[in-house]
Structures are given as C-alpha cells and as structure tokens.
Amino acid sequence: MSSKQIGVEAKPRLVRTVCVFCGSAQGVDPVYEAAAASLGRAMAKANVGLVYGGGGNGLMGAIARSVLAGGGEVTGIIPDFLLRKDSLLSEIHECVVVPDMHTRKRLMFERADAFVALPGGIGTLEELVEQLTWVQLERHSKPVVIADIGGFWQPLLHLFAHMREHLFIQSSFEVRYLVAEKIEDILPMIETAAARAELLGARKETVDPRL
C-alpha cells in the first residue's frame, strides 16, 4: 500500500537546488573543469537543480552544460553589466538579469538550498566567504561545501586555521563549513547536513541575510 493510499504525504525534499560558485576561467589544471562537469552530472542524476552565475565560460559553463546534458534544471543569475563581458549560456532554463552584484547574491541565496565552492578567483572567494559569514552570524544554516579539488582551497583553509590560532575566529562564533576532496562526496554531505539541521530545528530562513 502506498503512502498516498494510507493518507501519509511524503516529506518534501530538503535539497532541491544547489548554488555553485566557480570561476569563469578554466584554470591551469584540467582537473578543475573535469570536476565541474562531474558535479553537474551528479546533480542532474540526483534531480538537483543548479543555481549559478549565468556565464558560459570556464568552470561556470562546464557545470551548466553538464547539468543540461543530464536533463537537469539550470538557473543563471547575472548582473546586466556582465552581459557585455561574459558569454551568456542561452540554453539554460531561466536567466535572471539583475542590476547589480548585491541583488545577484541575494537571489542566489533565496534560490538555493545549499552552496558549493569549486575553484575560482576573487569573485568565487567573495561569494563563498559571504555565505560563511552569514552562517557564522546565524543568518542561515544552509550547508556550505568547499570543494577542495586538487588541494586548490588549502591556502584558504590554512588561513582559517591561522585566524583560529589568533582568536579572530572563536568557538562561540565558529565558521561552519564542509570540505570535500572528491566530487562524489559533495551531494551526500549536503543531504546529511541538511537532514541534521532539519532534525535539530536549526534550518532558518531570513528575508534579508545581510542584516
């Protein structure tokens, strides 16, 4: 007898979309682009939608095309001034053009149930650190995964350790994040973290996490 027949509704999925921060360049090591494509395939297979920056170049283009090739849903959010600088991926299901970077990040937050940082540059770092700040200040409890592909994020992780040693990150305001060295570990880690947050009643939504 199905759950529908006995009047029990299935619980809604905790993770329906993941926002991926990553570079608009390919980087020097081919492993980065391969990792982006691999994550895209895994997301499409798991029916997890992609929210990303909307571009068609570099790792951004690689993961979006991979999700699309697997039959997954892709939402791109891009500021209008970047339309002149970046190659917009026209095949995506939804492209949201916004007036500025702040609006872009707010909508990324609102559209995503979790966040993953692949290798990237200053923009990727800024997006990742902002989410970590919001988690630290308890503005939300959505999982944040640092995808340490080929050790790319080790300098940042060492910097976090340095901040802890010098008591600029204290136990009462810990920076909570997950680190995945393998692409296949990312989605299971996110699901586990989201389920734990739900169980503890810690899953919080805010109208404006910048406040």
Does the residue 10 lie in any domain?
Answer: no
Say if residues 49 and 75 touch (Cβ distance below 8 Å).
yes
pLDDT given for residue 197 in this prediction: 86
Does the residue 26 lie in any domain?
Answer: yes
Say if residues 89 and 69 touch (Cβ distance below 8 Å).
no
Say if residues 77 and 98 touch (Cβ distance below 8 Å).
yes
Task: List the chain pLDDT tens, one digit each, 211 residues.
Answer: 444 444 445 566 889 999 999 999 999 999 999 999 999 999 999 999 999 999 999 999 999 999 999 999 999 999 999 887 777 788 899 999 999 999 999 999 999 999 999 999 999 999 999 999 999 998 999 999 999 999 999 999 999 999 999 999 988 888 899 999 999 999 999 999 999 888 877 444 444 544 4
Helices (H), 144-183: 154-165
122-136 vs 101-111: helix crossing angle, rounded to 10 = 60
Does the residue 75 lie in any domain?
Answer: yes
Closest of 13, 15, 100, 88 to residue 52, by C-alpha: 88
> Distance between CA atoms of 151 and 130, rounded to whole angstroms?
21
Say if residues 81 and 47 touch (Cβ distance below 8 Å).
no
> What stretches of the chain adopt beta strand conformation (E)?
17-21, 49-52, 74-79, 94-98, 115-117, 144-147, 178-180
Does the residue 11 lie in any domain?
Answer: no
63 phi and psi, to 5 degrees?
-70, -40
pLDDT given for residue 11 in this prediction: 60
Count of the separate structural domains present in the chain: 1
Run of H or E including 179: strand 178-180
Closest of 105, 3, 7, 6 to residue 51, by C-alpha: 105
- Structural domain boundaries enclosing 114: 17-199
Does the residue 8 lie in any domain?
Answer: no
Does the residue 209 lie in any domain?
Answer: no
Say if residues 207 and 63 touch (Cβ distance below 8 Å).
no
pTM attached to this predicted model: 0.89
Identify the CATH number of the domain in which residue 192 sits.
Answer: 3.40.50.450
User: Cα dihedral sign for 19, 23, 27, 30?
Assistant: positive
Q: 3-class SS at 70? A: coil
pLDDT given for residue 166 in this prediction: 95
| CA distances from residue 66 to 22, 25, 54, 62, 70 in whole angstroms, order as listed | 14, 16, 14, 6, 6
Does the residue 92 lie in any domain?
Answer: yes
Does the residue 86 lie in any domain?
Answer: yes
Exposed/middle/buried for residue 125 (C-beta within 10 Å: 0-12, 13-18, 19+)? middle
